[in-house]
Amino acid sequence: MNLVYLDESGNTGTNLSDPQQPVFVLAALIVPESVWLDLEKRLVEAIENFFPERPPDFEVHANQLLNPRGFFRAFPMAHRLEFYRTWLSIAASLRLRLVSRAIVKKRYAQWLLETYGPGVAINPHNVAFVLTAQVVNEFLRATPGSPLGILISDENHEVMPDIEKSIRLLRGEAGSLRLSQIVEKGFFIESRKSHILQLCDLCAYAIRRSEEHKTGHAVKPAESSIIPWVEPLRHTAEEPMVDVLAWLDTQQKKERPGR
């Protein structure tokens, strides 16, 4: 069994014109059950080492580490960056794999307009989820023993119903998009209750900054430094883009008959 943690970065919902967050990223961190306890233990040890005295509501957020507010403002940038690097190094040492999907919002908005016309708003999270889930499913299927996986996402009430619906429909698909390795429904938990979800947040943030840099957007030096740390975790594979878009279009037409 594998626990697959999902978190996003650059989420602005259906607002696709925010100049501060031009890219949306969904990341999925695949954690085999055999290393789950060791991962949790080592993440906690790192927290104890870097932040021995912390508030009861302490939570790791990439944005707060790099653009500190509240508690993290008491620590110099070098200290916060070293903690960031340490957490990602722990994940790499356990050979965890990270699947991600980036969506450039400007291009996505144009695709929506060309495909459905004006007035149709679809959260990019929904598209990114289906694409990411397909790569995760294929990764699990190709892993020796073809292990199953459970999806665990950070709570996002805006997309939870759509994600649960997609999981249900794709698990029942008869064709190539069937989520054959995903069991149960998707689980949504508060990130403050899961150190591994918080680790996924750090991964998603680093990938978003990498993708923004590729598209020509300015990235601060400190944020540029985190990009190489996430690279050892990344699993890349060809996505069934055409099939996924066709499936999404079919679902959209069912929900919006006559359009």
Long-range contacts formed by 60-68: CB under 8 A, 24+ apart: 60/87, 60/195, 60/198, 60/199, 60/201, 60/202, 61/198, 61/201, 62/9, 62/201, 62/202, 62/204, 62/205, 62/206, 62/226, 63/205, 65/202, 66/205, 66/220, 66/222, 66/223, 66/226
pLDDT of residue 188: 94
State how far Cα 106 lies from the chain centre: 20
- The confidence score (pLDDT) of residue 258 equals 53
160, 126 contact by CB (below 8 A) = no
Domain 2-255, CATH class in plain words: alpha beta
Q: Average pLDDT in the 22-41 region?
A: 97
Q: How confident is the model at residue 252 (pLDDT cuts 50, 70, 90)?
A: confident
pTM for this one? 0.95
Q: How far apart are CA 107 and CA 121, in angstroms?
A: 14
Please write the tens of the pLDDT for every residue from 141-200. 999 999 999 999 998 888 999 999 999 999 888 888 999 999 988 899 999 999 999 999
Residue carrying structure tokens 């993290």? 72
